């Protein structure tokens, strides 16, 4: 797989998921955990660290920017 995503739940447990793109990762994450609360981190194709937070299965963009 092209990218590795570190998924951290609100309770602090972390796991690594792999996918070819962010869109496919998000789909597989929400299939596995429909009401996911937590955040994920990954390196994009330019090597920059990206953070995305989720609340009730939806991406919270404002909080994602605050994590940086």
Cα Rg of the chain (Å, integer): 11
- Other C-beta atoms within 10 Å of 33: how many? 14
Q: What does the block give as tokens for 39?
A: 């955040």
> For residue 60, what pLDDT band results from cuts at 50, 70 and 90?
confident
**Is the pLDDT at 42 greater than 90, yes or no?**
yes
> For residue 63, what pLDDT band results from cuts at 50, 70 and 90?
low
**What's the pLDDT score for residue 65?**
60
- How many domains in the chain? 1
**What's the pLDDT score for residue 64?**
57
Mean pLDDT of the chain: 90
What domain range includes position 58?
Answer: 3-67
Distance, CA of 14 to CA of 2 (rounded, Å): 20
Q: Which of 18, 50, 52, 20 is nearest to 36 (CA)?
A: 52
**Is the pLDDT at 61 greater than 80, yes or no?**
no
């Amino acid at each position: 797989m092209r990218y590795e995503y570190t998924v951290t739940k609100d309770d602090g447990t972390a796991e690594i998921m792999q996918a070819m793109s962010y869109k496919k990762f998000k789909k597989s994450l929400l299939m596995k955990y429909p009401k996911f609360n937590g955040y994920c981190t990954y390196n994009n194709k330019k090597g920059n660290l990206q953070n995305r937070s989720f609340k009730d299965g939806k991406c919270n963009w404002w909080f994602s920017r605050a994590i940086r």
